[in-house]
Amino acid sequence: MNITVQAGDNYWLYSQTFQLPLQLIIDSNPSIHPDQLSIGQTVRIPGFVQENYTIQSGDTLWTIAQQQNISFQQLLFVNRQINPNALYAGQQIILPRRVTWRVVNGRQEYTYDDLIQNLRQLSYIYPFMSNFEVGQSVMGKPIPELVIGKGAKKVHWNGSFHANEWITTPIIMTFLNDYLLSLTNQQPIRGLQVNPLYEEVLLSVVPMVNPDGVNLVLNGPPEEPNYRELVLDINNGSTDFSNWKANIRGVDLNNQYPAQWEIEKERKEQEPAPRDYPGEAPLTEPEASAIADLTVNRDFDRVLAFHTQGEVIYWGFENSEPPIAETIVNEFARVSGYQPIRTVDSYAGYKDWFIQEWQRPGYTLELGEGINPLPLSQYEEIYQEALGIFLASLYM
């Protein structure tokens, strides 16, 4: 919601009037110096949207506030140009509506277009959340990264490395929505106050690493003739892409990292395939390369890559992980019921590379149980299992 600066305004006044943490207002207006507000400037107030209301005969601002269940002080504040004692029928005023509902509907087949629509909505309501493009897919789709908070501890999550594991994206997005709601309404999640996390943690999230692949699984082959012919050829002519894990070129993005990549190259698929083809060399695919560049540039303290399925958490790589990694994974296991597994006969994954290069905690979390793609009937159960992991990754 936007308001216009008037004489005597300051961010502290906005914080008190709208019952918002001061820092969220400051960070929602990065181009404005907090101590140099100018009359007529537009300031964004996070966590609110505005609605238009037409005055009816007999209305007063007090009765409107009561009927609409909104704060009288906030109503008065956003309609300061109006004489509250001289309202007339047909007059237009603004209703400041505090957002207390989710924008994200995660319990649906969640395509790239759904993600982009939700990001636009969340960016409008919560302008303190930054939205960056970290790269593009093979087909040119921008790969978004969301950043919340500016703390010293840098935590990264990602989802949908694998196309038919797309349910990880709405699971992540639902928590992000709940986190934003909790920050602006100052309400706890599972009894935990999250507002201190905003000052302590920089949370980086790439909700959908493989947008071309996700759309292929959910929407079928693309309209573009070259890509359509390519995926149908790789898939042996079948239009059922439910088993497809790779990107649109048939490369498995989580077999693309230079952490014993040569082992996977020898024993996995030798040509483009719906799954398990590691490519001709590490980091040939723009999606995998984008995440690698982001990881180098952000210098994360820990990373969590969300996959499905198995209800297990992989947390080691060739004994390069630090001792704290075990403490953290044991907490993940406690809050989720998932089984920690330190080592497995698998290489060239994102968390493998992260642990190898930085000797910091990295995790591959296999959400849910069954056959990919997991059915939406599991969505709520998976979300509740993952919720504790999301919180623990920020708190610990």
CATH number of the domain at 57, please: 3.10.350.10
Could you say which of 69, 98, 127 is where a domain stops? Answer: 98
Beta strands in the chain (DSSP E): 2-4, 42-44, 48-54, 92-98, 130-136, 142-148, 153-159, 201-206, 302-308, 312-314, 339-341, 362-367
Which residue carries 């978004």 as its tokens? 144
Per the structure block, which two tokens stand in for 263? 């082992």
Same domain for 204 and 288, yes or no, is yes
Same domain for 79 and 158, yes or no, is no
| Total structural domains within the chain | 2
| DSSP H or E stretch at residue 323 | helix 323-336
Residues 6+ apart with CB under 8 A from 243: 164, 274, 275, 372
Helix axes 112-125, 211-219, angle to 10 degrees: 120
Q: Is 366 a catalytic residue?
A: yes
Could you say which of 51, 73, 98 is where a domain stops? Answer: 98
**Measured between alpha carbons, how far is 209 from 349 in angstroms, rounded to an integer?**
13
Q: Could you report the per-residue pLDDT of 192-203, keeping only the tens digit for each? A: 999 999 999 999
| DSSP H or E stretch at residue 190 | none
- 155 assigned to some structural domain: yes
Kindly tell me the burial class for residue 7, based on how many C-beta atoms sit within 10 Å of its own C-beta (0-12, 13-18, 19 or more): exposed
Same domain for 196 and 341, yes or no, is yes
Same domain for 20 and 89, yes or no, is yes
Same domain for 84 and 145, yes or no, is no
Same domain for 343 and 390, yes or no, is yes
Same domain for 194 and 331, yes or no, is yes
Polymer length in residues for the chain = 396
Same domain for 341 and 293, yes or no, is yes
Residue-wise burial string across 96-105, b where 16 or more C-beta atoms lie within 10 A, e elsewhere: bbbbeeebbe
Could you say which of 98, 130, 150 is where a domain stops? Answer: 98
Active site residue: 366, 369, 381, 385, which one?
Answer: 366
- 264 assigned to some structural domain: no
Same domain for 83 and 131, yes or no, is no
CB 18 within 8 A of CB 99: no
Same domain for 156 and 190, yes or no, is yes
Same domain for 297 and 381, yes or no, is yes
Q: Could you report the per-residue pLDDT of 113-126, keeping only the tens digit for each? A: 999 999 999 999 99
- 261 assigned to some structural domain: no
**Measured between alpha carbons, how far is 251 from 280 in angstroms, rounded to an integer?**
9
- 262 assigned to some structural domain: no
φ, ψ dihedrals at 51, nearest 5°: -125, 150
- 232 assigned to some structural domain: no
Q: What is the CATH number of the domain that holds 344?
A: 3.40.630.10
Q: Could you tell me what percent of the chain has a pLDDT over 90?
A: 100
pLDDT score of 182: 98
Residue 82 sits in which domain range?
2-98
- 263 assigned to some structural domain: no
**Measured between alpha carbons, how far is 288 from 158 in angstroms, rounded to an integer?**
12
- 272 assigned to some structural domain: no
- 252 assigned to some structural domain: no
Kindly tell me the burial class for residue 367, based on how many C-beta atoms sit within 10 Å of its own C-beta (0-12, 13-18, 19 or more): buried
pLDDT in tens, the chain (396 residues): 999 999 999 999 999 999 999 999 999 999 999 999 999 999 999 999 999 999 999 999 999 999 999 999 999 999 999 999 999 999 999 999 999 999 999 999 999 999 999 999 999 999 999 999 999 999 999 999 999 999 999 999 999 999 999 999 999 999 999 999 999 999 999 999 999 999 999 999 999 999 999 999 999 999 999 999 999 999 999 999 999 999 999 999 999 999 999 999 999 999 999 999 999 999 999 999 999 999 999 999 999 999 999 999 999 999 999 999 999 999 999 999 999 999 999 999 999 999 999 999 999 999 999 999 999 999 999 999 999 999 999 999
pTM here is 0.96
Same domain for 92 and 120, yes or no, is no
